[in-house]
């Protein structure tokens, strides 16, 4: 019987930043700053979440929001300047972030109109407040679906993109007026996303039951995003709010309660977190509700976290998205070149959501001036929260591996050097991997 080594890694409770989850990055609060101001222009005392944080008054992040306008990318019908989006993805990568991407058809200002070549043929604008072009009397649906198909063809599976927003119509692509489209019009646009993006996760705006039903009828793996987290009565006082009325009802009414199991749930702040604080809203209630809805990422709009809420936000971040603990790891103490190596790991996901990108779990043997990487067949996207996860696998060592002693390491690779590998909630992180112990490799 083979001799084995069993390791019980030390679990850590500190903040860790990982791709695709947590707060979105706040570049305006990074690096050395003389002063920090809140969203209302009031100077605040500077603080950091951790000693080595790069960001003031805001947690460090490994996810960035990238937005691109249709008019800036499709400069003539069927002619695309994808470098507009590539440059933004490169910037996200330079920050060490993956990116949530939204291509939107237009916004409200004249500078954010539909493409000029489209406007030239259809100069009239509708009276509807969130439309710049009428999708019922123009080729908007056809043109926008064509754009989405081209977008997917170019960027599906892009290693920096953690997920893509499904935008249908309305200013900033936020869905204003979706309910006034014909179902077939909505379907043409959503099909363009669902047929085109097979690798990159998608999320739809939780806006109206018609578009969501069209998506769920496809039985597609689509999450959702909403743009007013934190609203505890800012529109209608105690009569109605997003937190107590819209979200808890419509996540269920739209049959999206289990969407988080296969695709991300993203939230954006209503106004700013500082406004919540000044209104005296209950931050713990907001946090607990979002965790119940299995939040992966929160767009804080690059503004400060009120310092009295620092500990509340730390607790939030430790649960937001995925957080992997390796509780026990067992492996063969020795193996032969060309022979088998057996490993077993007992894992727990103590976050509230899985990881949605196909990041490979790997075993590495490092030593003798050589490193050998053994990719696992395990799909960690199936590691749901609140379950014991047993990973057991047998690897075949390369026949050419040199005899000697190696350091056995494990890691979850993103494939993007600037982003780095996924961090586990255990001690021992070393250049992207976690050493488990030594293994003797003998000649085959």
Please give the Cα distance from 180 to 158 (Å, whole number): 33
Question: For residue 443, what pLDDT is reported?
Answer: 87
Give, in order, the Cα–Cα distances in Å from 41 to each of 35, 49, 60, 288, 303. 11, 21, 22, 29, 11
Q: Residue for token digits 């395990």?
A: 378
Residue 178 DSSP label: G
Nearest to 201 by CA among 262, 110, 131: 262
Q: Residue for token digits 């077939």?
A: 184
Give, in order, the Cα–Cα distances in Å from 365 to each of 52, 86, 343, 347, 440. 30, 35, 13, 21, 10
Whether residue 68 is predicted with pLDDT greater than 90 in this model: the reply is: yes
Please write the tens of the pLDDT for every residue from 88-101. Answer: 999 999 999 999 99
Residue 33 DSSP label: -
Query: Which is more confident, 1 or 408?
Result: 408
Please give the Cα distance from 74 to 80 (Å, whole number): 4
Domains in the chain, CATH or no CATH each: 4-14+323-442 (2.60.40.770), 22-317 (3.20.20.80)
Alpha helix locations (H) across 97-254?
116-121, 140-155, 183-196, 209-217, 247-253
Find how far residue 385's CA is from the centre of its chain.
17
Question: For residue 362, what pLDDT is reported?
Answer: 98
| Cut 0.75: pTM above it | yes
Q: State phi, psi for 403 to the nearest 5 degrees.
A: -70, 145
Rg (CA), the chain: 24
> Exposed, middle or buried, 111 (CB in 10 Å: 0-12/13-18/19+)?
exposed
Please write the tens of the pLDDT for every residue from 240-269. Answer: 999 999 999 999 999 999 999 999 999 999
Please write the tens of the pLDDT for every residue from 365-408. Answer: 999 789 999 999 999 999 999 999 999 999 999 999 999 999 99
SS (H, E, C) 301-333: CCCCCCHHHHHHHHHHHCCCCCCEEEEEEEEEC
Whether residue 73 is predicted with pLDDT greater than 90 in this model: the reply is: yes
Please write the tens of the pLDDT for every residue from 178-195. Answer: 988 999 999 999 999 999
Per the CB < 8 A criterion, the answer to whether 366 and 402 are in contact is no
Whether residue 234 is predicted with pLDDT greater than 80 in this model: the reply is: yes
Looking at the chain, the whole-number percentage of residues with pLDDT higher than 70 is: 100
Question: For residue 2, what pLDDT is reported?
Answer: 85
Please give the Cα distance from 159 to 247 (Å, whole number): 31
Please write the tens of the pLDDT for every residue from 99-144. Answer: 999 999 999 988 999 999 999 999 999 988 899 999 999 999 999 9
Helix (H, G, I), strand (E, B) or coil at 189: helix
Please give the Cα distance from 65 to 164 (Å, whole number): 10
Whether residue 444 is predicted with pLDDT greater than 90 in this model: the reply is: no
- The residues, ordered by sequence, that sit 6+ positions from 434 with a Cβ below 8 Å of its Cβ are 9, 326, 409, 410, 411, 424, 426, 428
Mean pLDDT of 345-372: 96
Alpha helix locations (H) across 67-222?
70-73, 83-94, 116-121, 140-155, 183-196, 209-217
Asked which of 167-181, 293-307, 327-341 is least confident by mean pLDDT, the reply is 167-181
Give, in order, the Cα–Cα distances in Å from 173 to each of 67, 78, 97, 141, 309. 10, 20, 23, 13, 32
Please write the tens of the pLDDT for every residue from 279-326. Answer: 999 999 999 999 999 999 999 999 999 999 999 999 999 999 999 999
Question: For residue 207, what pLDDT is reported?
Answer: 85
Per the CB < 8 A criterion, the answer to whether 374 and 341 are in contact is yes
Mean pLDDT of 41-61: 96
CA atoms within 13 A on the CB side of 6: 4
- The residues, ordered by sequence, that sit 6+ positions from 4 with a Cβ below 8 Å of its Cβ are 330, 331, 332, 333, 342
Nearest to 422 by CA among 91, 134, 17, 94: 17
Question: For residue 1, what pLDDT is reported?
Answer: 72
Mean pLDDT of 271-281: 97
Find how far residue 400's CA is from the centre of its chain.
39
Please write the tens of the pLDDT for every residue from 13-45. Answer: 999 999 999 999 999 999 889 999 999 999 999
Whether residue 428 is predicted with pLDDT greater than 80 in this model: the reply is: yes
Residue 129: left if φ>0, alpha if ψ -120 to 50, beta else—which one?
alpha
The mean predicted confidence, pLDDT, of the chain is 96
Question: For residue 238, what pLDDT is reported?
Answer: 86
Helix (H, G, I), strand (E, B) or coil at 384: coil
Per the CB < 8 A criterion, the answer to whether 385 and 352 are in contact is yes
DSSP annotation string for 260-294: GGTS-EEEEESS-HHHHHHHT--HHHHHHHHHHTT
């Amino acid at each position: 019987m083979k001799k084995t080594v069993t390791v019980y890694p030390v679990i850590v409770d500190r903040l860790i930043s990982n791709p695709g989850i947590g707060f979105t990055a706040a570049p305006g609060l990074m690096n050395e700053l003389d002063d920090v101001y809140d969203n209302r222009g009031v100077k605040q005392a500077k603080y950091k979440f951790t000693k080595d944080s790069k960001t003031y008054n805001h947690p460090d992040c490994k996810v960035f929001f990238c937005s691109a306008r249709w008019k800036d990318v499709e400069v003539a019908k069927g002619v695309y300047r994808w470098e507009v989006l590539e440059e933004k993805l490169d910037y996200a990568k330079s920050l060490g972030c993956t990116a949530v991407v939204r291509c939107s058809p237009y916004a409200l200002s004249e500078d954010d109109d539909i493409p000029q070549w489209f406007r030239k043929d259809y100069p009239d604008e509708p009276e509807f407040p969130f439309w710049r072009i009428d999708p019922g009397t123009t080729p908007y649906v056809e043109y926008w679906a064509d754009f989405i198909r081209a977008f997917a063809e170019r960027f599906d599976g892009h290693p920096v993109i953690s997920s893509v927003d499904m935008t249908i119509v309305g200013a900033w692509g936020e869905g204003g007026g979706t309910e006034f489209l014909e179902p077939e019009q909505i379907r043409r646009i959503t099909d363009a996303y669902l047929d085109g993006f097979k690798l990159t996760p998608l999320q739809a705006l939780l806006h109206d039951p018609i578009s969501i039903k069209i998506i769920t009828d496809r039985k597609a793996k689509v999450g959702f995003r909403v743009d007013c987290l934190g609203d505890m009565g800012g529109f209608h006082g105690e009569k109605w709010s997003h937190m107590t009325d819209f979200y808890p009802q419509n996540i269920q009414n739209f049959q999206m309660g289990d969407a988080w199991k296969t695709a991300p749930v993203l939230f954006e702040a209503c106004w700013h977190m500082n406004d919540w604080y000044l209104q005296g809203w209950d931050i713990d209630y907001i946090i607990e509700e979002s965790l119940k809805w299995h939040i992966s990422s929160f767009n804080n709009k690059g503004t400060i976290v009120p310092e009295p809420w620092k500990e509340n936000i730390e607790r939030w971040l430790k649960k937001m998205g995925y957080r992997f603990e390796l509780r026990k790891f067992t492996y063969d103490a020795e193996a032969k070149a060309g022979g088998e190596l057996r490993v077993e790991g007992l894992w727990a996901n103590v976050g509230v959501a899985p990881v949605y990108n196909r990041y490979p779990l790997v075993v590495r043997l490092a030593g003798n001036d050589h490193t050998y990487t053994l990719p696992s067949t395990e799909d960690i996207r199936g590691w749901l929260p609140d379950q014991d996860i047993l990973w057991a696998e047998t690897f075949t060592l390369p026949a050419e591996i040199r005899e000697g002693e190696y350091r056995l390491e494990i890691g979850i690779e993103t494939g993007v050097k600037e982003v780095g590998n996924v961090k586990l909630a255990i001690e021992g992180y070393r250049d992207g991997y976690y050493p488990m112990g030594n293994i003797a490799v003998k000649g085959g």
